[in-house]
Amino acid sequence: NAGVTQTPKFRILKIGQSMTLQCTQDMNHNYMYWYRQDPGMGLKLIYYSVGAGITDKGEVPNGYNVSRSTTEDFPLRLELAAPSQTSVYFCATGERMNTEAFFGQGTRLTVV
């Protein structure tokens, strides 16, 4: 089993460009999360989903959008990229509420 797969691993964007970070899981977990990680700032939750068709904002949703049309996929969309969105992005899944999270390998995004 692949677990949680994120693509791409690295990306450089120009200011104002858009892109979609892909996240796919084969663990059949209902819960999926997008985090960003900045040095010394820990993990900040961007969006999360408790099942197909259901998404909700986390701590830092501005500048991002998500969708959850299937259990497996939870893409994160960046519209009009800004330098402040330079970060490492992690997708994670969980079987249900109150259980551990399983992380993907991350996407390192630089906006210049």
Partner 1 sequence: AQSVSQHNHHVILSEAASLELGCNYSYGGTVNLFWYVQYPGQHLQLLLKYFSGDPLVKGIKGFEAEFIKSKFSFNLRKPSVQWSDTAEYFCAVNAGNNRKLIWGLGTSLAVNP
The site for partner 1 (CB under 8 A) is made up of: 31, 33, 40-43, 45, 48, 50, 56, 58, 90, 92, 97-106
**Residue in the block written with tokens 């509420």:** 97
Q: Residue 38 Cβ, how far from partner 1 at the closest point, in Å?
A: 10
CA distance 13 to 37: 18
Q: Residue 14 or 39: which CB sits closer to partner 1? A: 39
Min dist. Cβ of residue 16 to partner 1 (A): 29
* Contact between 48 and 60 (Cβ < 8 Å): no
Considering the complex, state which of residue 49 and residue 85 has its C-beta at the smaller distance from partner 1: 49
Q: How far is the CB of 15 from partner 1 (least distance, A)?
A: 26
Q: Alpha helices of 12-94 — where are they, by DSSP H? A: none
Count Cα neighbours of 39 within 13 Å in the Cβ-side half-sphere. 1
Q: Longest C-alpha distance within the chain, in Å?
A: 38
Amino acid identity of 93?
Answer: T
- Smallest gap from residue 93 Cβ to partner 1 (A): 12
